[in-house]
């Protein structure tokens, strides 16, 4: 969802090891995202917290991420400093914040602060990892970002996977494992990848005119608004997945299914990157956004369907809800001002996550009073508006004029 395109002449060929290392590091660093969500059933039972606690904790992390991306954008950190060092420092800091959350787990208010701090440092992992990828892969960016965002999706789901595998162990094992994984990912990237190719098109300070392209350039505006519609749906869906699955599953089966529904989005990202080479990013992003929106509308029928259809529906939803992310990044990166792409996309990311907080708080609050089958179709508002915003860009690409 965030990327930085770097343009330089006579760029040497990219070593084959770069992308696998980036994928592993991104996967490891973003495992911090749902470290607490994965153990919430245990915490609710032990601490007596209400079901809405998971929404508040997720919103706290999203808010921290927003503040982090805003700081990064307004200070042009994404375009001024060594990406490797920023990634390393933020991965280590995020790991420490997760351990801090574990130490203060009995205090919900302190836990909120630790999760917000974790979100702040994730702003130096997720967007910066995308920047490193785009510096090494100025050509074929859609494919590279498909793998990188796929790693983010799988990393976000990893805490559920660890919980499923460690069901016999204390829930604290999950949080410690995630912290170690994130720190290892930062160290691995820093030690295994050299500084990426440099470019003279790197911003040294914030340029407000460049940021204004989000509204003044119709191509940038189209992909940005499409991304905003996507963000209304994605993270709220991820927060609600355990609640949706709990209507039919429990225990280890629920954890494995949650990992599968979230993790399958990685295949959507990778497959979308492959299709974008043939169809174009605008067509792929719009198609996946349309499919995920349709899944929202099917909720009243499939929430009560037999288990096989229920799981198939969630798998398709998870596949497409995340799969359009790298293509929105590719479109915005390709059309934004070249000298300040990092700042433009980081600010876009910031606004998108602000939208996700509104959606998470709204839907988790309503879920206490409304049935999920009646509530979930309203997530489709985001995809619907995103499809409308992308219409002109999709039609231009379809006609072959871009």
Nearest CA to 64 out of 28, 112, 3, 132 is that of 112
Can you tell me the distance from the alpha carbon of 38 to that of 277, in angstroms, rounded to the nearest whole number?
35
The rounded distance, in Å, linking the Cα atoms of 270 and 274 is 6
Q: Are 323 and 265 in contact (CB under 8 A)?
A: yes
Contact by Cβ (8 Å): 302, 309: yes
- Give the chain's radius of gyration (CA, Å): 20
- How far apart CA 191 and CA 145 sit, in angstroms, is 22
pLDDT at 78: 62
- The answer to whether the CB of 193 falls within 8 A of the CB of 18 is yes
What pLDDT, on a 0 to 100 scale, did the predictor assign at position 128?
Answer: 83
pLDDT for residue 61: 93
C-alpha to C-alpha distance for 26 and 49, rounded to whole angstroms: 31
Residues in the chain: 402
So what's the pLDDT on residue 330? 82
Q: Are 81 and 113 in contact (CB under 8 A)?
A: no
Strands (E) in 230-329, as ranges, are none
Q: Domain ranges for the chain, please list them.
A: 18-194+213-398
Locus of tokens 């956004």? 289
**H-only helix segments in 246-279:** 251-263, 265-279
- pLDDT string in tens for the chain (402-residue length): 443 444 444 445 778 888 899 989 999 998 998 888 888 878 888 888 877 788 888 889 989 999 998 888 777 776 677 888 989 999 999 999 999 999 988 888 999 999 999 999 998 898 888 778 777 877 666 677 788 888 888 888 888 888 777 767 778 888 999 999 999 999 999 999 888 765 444 545 555 666 667 777 788 889 999 999 999 999 999 999 999 999 999 888 888 899 999 999 999 999 988 888 888 889 999 999 999 999 999 999 999 999 999 999 999 999 999 999 888 988 887 777 766 666 677 778 888 989 999 999 999 889 888 899 999 999 999 999 999 999 888 777 666 544
CATH topology of domain 18-194+213-398: Growth Hormone; Chain: A; (1.20.1250)
What pLDDT is recorded for position 205?
55
Write out the two tokens for 378.
Answer: 């309203």
Report pLDDT for 12: 54
- Contact present, 24 and 266 (Cβ < 8 Å): no
SS3 206: coil
Displacement of CA 354 from its chain's centroid (Å): 13
pTM more than 0.85: no
**pLDDT value for 399:** 65
Q: Are 64 and 126 in contact (CB under 8 A)?
A: no
CA distance 58 to 399: 41
Q: Show the tokens assigned to 165.
A: 């595998």
* Cα distance between residue 302 and residue 147, in whole Å: 30
Give me the helices (H) in 30-140, please: 40-47, 53-74, 77-80, 83-103, 108-122, 126-136
Q: Alpha-carbon dihedral of residues 217, 222, 224, 225, nearest 10 degrees?
A: 130
Which CA distances in Å does 68 have to 116, 181, 208?
10, 21, 19
- Spatial separation of the C-alpha atoms in residues 174 and 101, rounded to whole Å: 12
Q: Which pLDDT value is given to residue 201?
A: 44
Burial 64-100 (b: 16+ CB within 10 A, else e): bbbbbbbebbeebbbbbeebbebbbbbbbbbbbbbeb
Cα 166 off chain centre by:
25
């Amino acid at each position: 969802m965030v990327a930085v395109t770097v343009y330089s002449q006579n760029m040497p060929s990219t070593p084959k090891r770069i992308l696998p290392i980036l994928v592993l590091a991104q996967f490891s660093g973003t495992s911090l995202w749902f470290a607490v969500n994965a153990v919430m059933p245990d915490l609710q039972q032990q601490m007596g917290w209400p079901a809405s606690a998971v929404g508040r904790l997720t919103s706290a992390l999203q808010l921290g991420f927003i503040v982090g991306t805003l700081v990064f954008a307004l200070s042009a950190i994404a375009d001024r400093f060594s990406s490797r060092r920023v990634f390393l420092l933020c991965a280590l800091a995020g790991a420490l914040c997760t351990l801090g959350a574990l130490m203060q787990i009995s205090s919900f208010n302190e836990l909120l602060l630790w999760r917000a701090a974790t979100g702040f440092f994730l702003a130096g992992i997720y967007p910066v990892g995308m920047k490193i990828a785009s510096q090494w892969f100025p050509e074929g960016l859609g494919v590279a970002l498909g793998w990188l965002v796929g790693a983010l999706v799988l990393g976000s789901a990893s805490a559920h996977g660890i919980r499923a595998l460690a069901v016999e162990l204390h829930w604290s094992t999950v949080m410690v494992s995630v912290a170690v994984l994130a720190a290892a990912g930062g160290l691995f990237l820093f030690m295994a990848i050299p500084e990426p190719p440099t470019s003279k098109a790197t911003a040294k300070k914030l340029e407000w005119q460049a940021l204004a392209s989000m509204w003044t350039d119709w191509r940038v505006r189209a992909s940005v608004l499409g991304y905003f519609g996507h963000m209304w749906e994605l993270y709220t869906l991820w927060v609600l997945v355990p609640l949706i699955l709990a209507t039919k599953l429990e225990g280890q089966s629920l954890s494995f299914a949650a990992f599968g529904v979230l993790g399958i989005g990685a295949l959507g990202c990778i497959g979308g990157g492959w299709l974008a080479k043939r169809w174009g990013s605008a067509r792929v992003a719009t198609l996946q956004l349309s499919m995920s929106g349709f899944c929202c509308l099917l909720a009243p029928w499939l929430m009560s369907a037999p288990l096989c259809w229920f799981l198939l529906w969630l798998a398709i939803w998870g596949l497409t809800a995340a799969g359009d992310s790298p293509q929105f990044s590719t479109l915005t990166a390709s059309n934004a001002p070249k000298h300040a792409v990092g700042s433009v996309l980081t600010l876009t990311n910031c606004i998108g996550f602000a939208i996700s907080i509104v959606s998470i708080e709204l839907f988790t609050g309503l879920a206490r009073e409304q049935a999920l089958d009646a509530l979930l179709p309203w997530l489709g508002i985001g995809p619907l508006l995103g499809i409308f915003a992308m219409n002109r860009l999709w039609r231009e690409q379809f006609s072959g004029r871009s």
